[in-house]
Amino acid sequence: MSSSSANQPTSSGSSSAVASTNPPAQSSNSQVSLSMLHDVPSIPQLVLHGSITNFTIGTSNFNVAEKSEQTESEKTDFVQKIQELEQQLMERNELMQKALESENKLKEDMRKLMKRNDELLTENQNLKNQNHQLKEDMKEQMKTNMELFTENQYLKTQNNQLKENMEEFMKRNEESTTEIRILKSQNQQLKTETEMMRQRAQHSEEARRNEHAKMEEAKELKVKLEESAVARNQQIKTLKERNRYLKNSLFQRMGELEQLQTQAIRRSTRAQPGQ
């Protein structure tokens, strides 16, 4: 468009037409760009510069129409200057458009950044709440574990006491068994002696002559032996009863220990998390 204007014969009418055709288009572009960048506070000097340039172009176009005495070369130079100014204005408009787009993108990025910041703050608060709850659960678990440890220590002490009682009972039982064995041996010895005395009484010729005296003596000895056997049998019975009492006491204590261990296992199972 600018090259055709430079080659045609120039007159005041044609020059006026060319000048009046191009500047309105540039003015329209400039007005669109200014309206789009009205809310952008970062480029006021560029907008102002574009407005002054547009005003200067319009004034120059009117001057071209009025000065018919200018030479062809001057008109051609003037048209080229106008075209250069148009090109500069278009480039400035493009720069302003890019600046506006960059400003809008920056605002959108800031909005996304603020939104992400709010999400991170909310997530951080949730994590703090979870951490506090975990601390409380840990304190409760440690308290439960301490109670279970104390109860376990008590059960261990009871178990050790029962073991000591069991050892004592086994020792006494062994002593009682030894004593019973000795008493049985002594009883058997008394029976043997009684049998030997009876045989002597039967086969002894002197015993037959002093049968009555021997019989009395044998009766007395028999009575003594019977009394001694009764006494020893009573001792054996007493030892058996004491042995039976110790066994029952031991079994009762073992049952109590099993109950305590069962209760401790149930409490430990209830205290474990997730159960």
Query: pLDDT tens across 185-241, in order?
Result: 888 888 888 888 777 767 766 656 767 777 787 788 888 888 888 888 898 888 888
Q: Tens of pLDDT along 97-130?
A: 999 999 999 999 999 999 999 999 999 999 999 9
- CA 7 from centre of chain: 86
The 8-class DSSP code of residue 71 comes to -
How far apart are alpha carbons 210 and 201 in whole angstroms? 10
Give pLDDT, residue 33.
40
Mean pLDDT of the chain: 75
pTM above 0.75, yes or no: no
Instruction: Count the neighbouring beta carbons within 10 Å of the beta carbon of residue 152.
Output: 13
Distance CA 66, CA 183 (A): 160
pLDDT tens across 122-157, in order? Answer: 999 999 999 999 999 999 999 999 999 998 899 989
CATH 1.10.287: which residues of the chain? 145-271
The predicted structure's pLDDT at residue 97? 93
The residue with greater pLDDT, 42 or 158, is: 158
Cβ(54)–Cβ(30) below 8 Å? yes
CATH number of 145-271: 1.20.120, 1.10.287, 1.20.140, 1.10.3470? 1.10.287
In this predicted structure, which of 82-96, 182-196, 198-212, 252-266 has the lowest mean pLDDT? 198-212
